[in-house]
A and B are shown apart, each in its own frame.
Chain A
Amino acid sequence: MALLEVEDIHTYYGNVSALRGISLTVEEGEIVTLIGGNGAGKSTTLRSITALTPARTGSVRFLDQEITASQPADIVARGISMVPEGRRCFPRMTVRENLDLGAYLRKDKSEISSDIDRIFELFPRLQEREKQKAGTMSGGEQQMLAIGRAMMARPKLLLLDEPSMGLAPLFVDRIYDTIREINEAGTTILLVEQSATHALAVAHRGYVLETGEVALTDTSESLRTNTDVQKAYLGV
């Protein structure tokens, strides 16, 4: 049984079809990446999994339970957290308040504060800025905060939507190191990324999406050496 099984989902924005039968699986402990160009349906796939834009047909199963028609809050409670595209930290809340909100569904107060300490260990920069408003921080720091905030829900599966977007190269490397660390500590990761180079370097497997469909799927190794992928996404 895979941790996450997405089967033939079709998702629409109004009448516009965004996903045309996407199927994918994520096994426990893996890092899986979705790559593809603009409008390929990468973010929509994540929005369908988290029910922000539920799939119209098809099914999403998590831990062998149907979650296609669940509420977003229910899906977070089941153990899927998302780091949204563009980070979306609460700009007028402090770093700490943002992290607290990440644990919104949890009731175990003492565990929450020790988890915050763990996030601060992972991102010492956040501890320095604990009382600063999130909106006043740099893009890289906000990305750290967004990841930390999502981890506060103690997810089994972490969804990351374009974590490298708009970041300086140095920061991108640091974010990707952290993604690997989080995975090694036991969290499964589904990563959406335009920058295929970074994504394929860290992921175990990948799916290439084109116009709402899975064009290709393989291990990261093979995708990196695939000439079509190289031409289209790796700029080789």
Chain B
Amino acid sequence: MATFDSVMQRPVGPRGMTVSTIAAIAIVAFAIVFPLFFDPLSGFLGTSIQALAYVVMALGLNVVVGFAGLLDLGYVAFFAIGAYTTGWVMSGFYGEANIHVFVTSTVEALPGIHMNFLLVLVIAALLCAVAGVVIGLPTLRLRGDYIAIVTLAFGEIIRVFAINGPEIRPFGENYPLTQGKQSITPIDQIDLPFLEPLNSILSLRGYYWVILGIVLVCLFVVLRLRDSRIGRAWIALREDEVAAASMGIPLVKTKLLAYLVGGAMGGLSGAFLGPFIQVVNADQFAFSFSIFILAMVILGGLGSVWGAVIGALVLTFVNNYLIPDVLNGVPGALGLDFQFSDLGFGVFGFLLVIVMILRPQGLFPERRRAIELTEGLDGPPGGPPMGATPAPTTTRGEA
């Protein structure tokens, strides 16, 4: 038992802490200077920005699915709400209105509602936090698969609203909810206080640093939450709901808080992607996107913060760079009559299957889950859950 114990405890020693702190600083420093190595408009930099935006979503979804154990298949809804927020209050979409809040003089001259990006971030996060709670409420009495179905439906409802948006005009004839499958465009460029407004036509670097900032803030929040009282409550909830309730953990509040945090991060990411992609339309918010983000979390290792980061980076680069740019011509070069990107999700699924076979706990598993899986492999196949199975070494001579 002693050897097993020491294996489990190895990553947390004080020496390990300092090493990981140094590593973290080095990685952040590298991330900051990273765009200087590339042409300001390079496609690779664009993919990196996209990847970082997905990191934010993966971090948020990991709070819901990984920490609290609530399987959410409708995460795309928060992307949609965040992105549409920018369509509503950061573009000329509502041409009849003339509202400008903290924007540059150039934007000031345009019709529509134009608010400063920071304000839009706050609005999007708040809207999505509320949406998170709204979706959380009907799932409070449900478990596992049933939560998945309700959340999946929620994602679809939001998409259907987006598609039929032109017909939905609660605030008057000139204020449709969305543009449906047609794009709301252009979205205002990001404009931060005390800095020159960004311009993605000239350089993507500013966008990169903005999303990197959002990633770092979200990382900090998620890491602090994980090690807090509420973080422990989430994990207790995931492990055993009845026992958690018996400890005095308020189930409703704890679950809703997970949905709220996860939703808000999806909203932040959506509100960034609006001005970055410059278009918002209903086709961007398909069910497959929820699966895409969930796959990042699972690939990285459910519940693992660093896993979510790595999973999001890896899958975005595979999906947005490796498949369309690098490998696309390979079948043609071999004399086959298709392009690699036609296989898109097929490649992607294949990769996931390989990972799940070779490393089921994910690339960077959370400590707890890694243990669960390795013990599952050592134990008798198909045996009772390990909570009910005493380890042989401990029962010997006692029972």
Contact = CB atoms under 8 A, between A and B. Distances in A.
A101 B247 contact: yes
Given A71-B250, A84-B246, A136-B375, A93 B398 contact: no
A137 B394 contact: yes
Interface in A103-148: 104-105, 129, 131-142
A153 B247 contact: yes
Contacts of B325: none
A149 to B, nearest CB: 7
Interface in B162-211: none
A104 B233 contact: yes
B233 A91 contact: no
A70 B251 CA distance: 13
A76 B246 contact: yes
Nearest to A97: B232
Contact of B371 (A81, A97, A133): A133
Between B1, B242, B387, the greatest number of chain A beta carbons within 10 A of the residue's beta carbon is seen for B387
A93 B235 contact: yes
Interface in B5-47: 5, 8-9
B1 A132 contact: yes
Interface in B327-374: 368-369, 371-372
A210 interface: no
Given A77-B248, A81-B246, A136 B239 contact: no
Given A77-B248, A88-B242, A90-B239, 12 more contacts: A50-B246, A84-B242, A84-B243, A101-B249, A102-B247, A131-B9, A133-B8, A141-B390, A153-B247, A170-B399, A171-B398, A171-B399
A72 B232 contact: no
Size band of the interface chain A makes with B: 35 or more
Interface in A7-25: none
A73 B240 contact: no
A69 to B, nearest CB: 14
Contacts of A167: 399
A117 to B, nearest CB: 20
B372 A92 contact: yes
Contacts of B106: none
B257 to A, nearest CB: 14
A138 B399 contact: yes
Nearest to B9: A131
Interface of A: 50, 52, 71-73, 76-77, 81-82, 84, 86, 88-93, 97, 100-102, 104-105, 129, 131-142, 149-150, 153, 167-168, 170-171
Given A100-B232, A136-B391, A73 B248 contact: yes
A138 B232 contact: no
Nearest to B248: A76
Contacts of A141: 390, 394
Contacts of B398: 138, 140, 168, 170-171
A105 B249 CA distance: 8
Given A97-B232, A104-B229, A140-B398, A92 B371 contact: yes
Between A71, A133, A139, A149, the greatest number of chain B beta carbons within 10 A of the residue's beta carbon is seen for A133
A102 B236 CA distance: 11
25 contacts: A73-B251, A84-B246, A88-B387, A91-B386, A91-B387, A93-B239, A101-B232, A101-B249, A104-B232, A104-B236, A104-B247, A105-B247, A129-B394, A131-B5, A131-B8, A134-B387, A135-B375, A137-B390, A137-B391, A138-B391, A139-B390, A167-B399, A168-B398, A170-B399, A171-B398
A167 B387 CA distance: 15
Contact of B368 (A89, A92, A139): A92
B5 A132 contact: yes
A73 B375 CA distance: 33
B375 to A, nearest CB: 7
Contacts of B157: none
B383 to A, nearest CB: 13
B395 interface: yes
Given A91-B386, A91-B387, A138 B394 contact: yes
Query: What are the 9 A-B residue pairs with the smallest beta carbon separation, nearest first?
Result: A76-B248, A91-B387, A138-B390, A88-B243, A168-B399, A105-B248, A73-B250, A136-B391, A92-B368
A149 B243 CA distance: 10
B118 to A, nearest CB: 35
Contacts of A129: 394
A90 B389 CA distance: 13
B387 A135 contact: yes
B248 A90 contact: no
A124 to B, nearest CB: 13
B245 interface: yes
Nearest to A136: B391
Contacts of A88: 240, 242-243, 246, 387
A137 B4 CA distance: 13
Contacts of B399: 138-140, 167-168, 170-171
A93 B8 CA distance: 12
Contact of A90 (B5, B240, B369, B388): B240
A101 B391 contact: no
A153 B248 contact: yes
A91 B389 CA distance: 10
Contacts of A105: 247-248
A72 B248 contact: yes
B249 A73 contact: yes
Nearest to B398: A138
